[in-house]
Amino acid sequence: MSKHYKYNANLENVLSNYNKERMGFFKLLYTVGKTNKKVASLVIITIVAQALLVSIVPILTNIVIQQALFDNQSRQSAGQDYGQVWYVWIIIMTLVVILLSSIVFFKDWLFSIITSRLEVKFKIAILRKLFEQDISYYSDKKIGEIMTKVLYDTSNVSNEISGLLNSLIQAPMVLILGTVSLFIISPHLATAALVTVYSMVLILVFVVKNYRKNHLQLRNIMSSINGITADKINSIRLIKSSGTREYENKEIEKIYEPYLKQYKPVALKGAALSTILIASDVIVAMVVVIVAVLISRQDSESFAKLVPITAGLTALTRPLWQVSGIIPAISRASASAEKIYGVMKSKPLFLEHEHDGIIINEDIKRIELKNIVFSYPEQPSKTILQNMNITFEKGKSYAFVGETGAGKTTISKLLLRFYEPSSGEILINGHNLNKLNLPVYLQRVGYVEQEPQIIFGNVFENVKYGAFDKTDSQVIRACKKAKLHELISNMPDGYNTILGERGFILSGGQKQRLIIARMFLKDLEILVMDEATSALDNIVEKEIQVSLNELMVNKTTVVIAHRLSTIKHVDEIIVLGANGAGIVQRGTFENLKKIEGHFKKLYEAGMLE
Ligand SMILES: Nc1ncnc2c1ncn2[C@@H]1O[C@H](COP(=O)(O)OP(=O)(O)OP(=O)(O)O)[C@@H](O)[C@H]1O
């Protein structure tokens, strides 16, 4: 495993195994630092060095100003001495500038690199976590909301991390150094200035008290808007076919209303922050001058100390400006950190055992569904499958029929282990499916679903998906078997034609054929087919059936049937009763259509035409 992946795994593990309810920005910062100690130390060293050098400049300037203006003795009696101080100052300042420039250059370069790497690491970590989640994780979430987490929150956190590290370490250092230097120059004036400065900080903290909460709310609203936006774009066909463009135009305005409303307090507090900071500069200067005037009646030198004090104050108010940036940045970063952690901490309902699962080397001879009871985790009170017992023998074909909602598709989901049975077992050659190495098992299972999934990519990439080691000529052979070769050959770029997102350029039947070609390419033993009902017309359906029949040869096939043509020739039909009644009849087509019962009713009611 490369170092790069080790680091990712570390970050993922630490994030996944952190067991508190929330993870704020600071905890995330600590976690990132802990998983990459060397870079973190380098970052801290450069920031501290920069802060020290920045603070040294006013102190050095003060020394020279003092020497030049107030040390009359050295100026009058030894002009040479004064000249020496001047030259030494120039040399030191030149060195400081060279050192400071080098540090700033190195630090900024380092920060840019870290930001981009962190962003990628967060994105990879969150995407891997999303791949790990089981299907039920997605049933109550909008794609747009998930996209916001993957795209926005990861960028936000990584950008803020480098910016905030800078100000979080630098600001307190400069504040402390500035305070000390002011006290050295004049304790009275320093006290007056500092009381004013720190009062301003207190007011600042009070004003931004709820800033973080406001940002979190804003972030939640934006994420929900993104969810709705993605949903609208996905429903483009519905909008076009219903003539509802005007309605949608108005709807999107309404969707953004809460965002604008929530932005008001955020904008108000942001503006208050800048105002206080601008005012604080003037207020502090005023207070210092007033105090200097008052003191000058007893201490004549205090007025003269105004110059170095003002120089020192400039160094002190700078971190205050940084604080103004820190607070909203922490608020934004914390809101995003919580969202990232929300994904990272959620554990899948079951494991895929990709490292420790049982691998079956021999042919899959039998699949047994033993005493299966099933309810969806999303709706545990509703039993979908009731005490089901079926055995699928190698090379035979089975079809499930029943009214809509009877649980036919649910069986295919269990066989693909999208879900685990609530009780009972699915045994593959006698081994519990829950204990098998899932990726290896799925390599031998083909799934033809109602809505074929086409990825953004060319024909080769689409057909090879899941069988990446196959050659281009094997793909062409598979497409010929699926009766797709002629169509692809007539496309502008042939097999290199990009099929577009969700296969927009293909018809329903062509998409089905592409999936069949994918299945021909894989070395499958089991076929699970959820028949497309409405997508295909009768003629296309018949043509596709010919390809499917060829695909089914020598494979154990489980068909979720909606059409008569499929079930006529299967070895066994399993009839499911409505409302979780379970299996109510079994047999061949010829048998079932003759005897009184559920199947005959479905058949006669035309539900299988
Ligand atoms: N993710 C889910 N969470 C909760 N209930 C679900 C979920 N998916 C499906 N169901 C419910 O489970 C029941 C069985 O659904 P299933 O899709 O297996 O039916 P089906 O027999 O294949 O129907 P059809 O012929 O209409 O495709 C339905 O009542 C459905 O509402």
How far is 332 from 327, CA to CA, in rounded Å?
Answer: 9
Which residue owns the Cα nearest ligand 1 atom 25?
A: 404
How far is 129 from 123, CA to CA, in rounded Å?
Answer: 10
Mean pLDDT (the chain) is 80
Which residue owns the Cα nearest ligand 1 atom 29?
A: 405
Atom of ligand 1 minimally distant from the CA of 407:
18
Q: How far is the CA of 141 from the centre of ligand 1 (A)?
A: 18
How far is 450 from 49, CA to CA, in rounded Å?
Answer: 63
- Is residue 349 within 8 Å of 380, Cβ to Cβ? no
Q: Which of 241-245, 575-579, 587-591 comes out lowest in average pLDDT?
A: 241-245
Of 410, 450, 558, best ligand 1 pocket probe by most atoms within 8 Å of the beta carbon: 410
- Number of Cβ within a 10 Å radius of residue 505: 12
Q: How far is the CA of 575 from the centre of ligand 1 (A)?
A: 16
Return the higher-pLDDT residue of 86 and 32: 32
**What's the one-letter identity of residue 461?**
E
Atom of ligand 1 minimally distant from the CA of 400:
21
Which residue owns the Cα nearest ligand 1 atom 2?
A: 376
Secondary structure class of 516 (helix, strand, coil): helix
Q: How far is the CA of 376 from the centre of ligand 1 (A)?
A: 9
Q: Which CA distances in Å does 103 have to 47, 61, 305, 491? A: 9, 21, 32, 57
Q: Which CA distances in Å does 446 have to 63, 244, 385? A: 81, 39, 23
* Domains recognised in the chain with CATH numbers: 8-345 (1.20.1560.10), 454-523 (3.40.50.300)
Q: How far is the CA of 410 from the centre of ligand 1 (A)?
A: 6
Of 401, 408, 415, 598, best ligand 1 pocket probe by most atoms within 8 Å of the beta carbon: 408
How far is 149 from 159, CA to CA, in rounded Å?
Answer: 15
Residues with CB under 6 Å of ligand 1 are 139, 376, 378-379, 384, 402, 404-410
- Among residues of the chain, what percentage have pLDDT more than 90? 15
Of all helices (H) and strands (E), which one includes residue 368?
A: strand 366-374
Question: Quick one: CA torsion of 260, 266, 271, 276, rounded to 10 degrees?
Answer: 170
- pLDDT value of position 58: 62
pTM for the structure as a whole: 0.74
pLDDT digit string (tens) for 577-588? 887 778 888 988
Of 374, 379, 562, best ligand 1 pocket probe by most atoms within 8 Å of the beta carbon: 379
Half-sphere CA count of 421, side-chain side, radius 13 A: 22
266 phi and psi angles, rounded to 5 deg? -65, -45
Residue 274 burial (C-beta neighbours within 10 Å; 0-12, 13-18, 19+): exposed
Report strand pairing: 366-374 vs 572-577: unpaired
ipTM for this model: 0.97
How far is 235 from 247, CA to CA, in rounded Å?
Answer: 14
pLDDT digit string (tens) for 426-474? 999 999 999 999 888 998 999 988 778 888 888 999 899 888 889 999 9
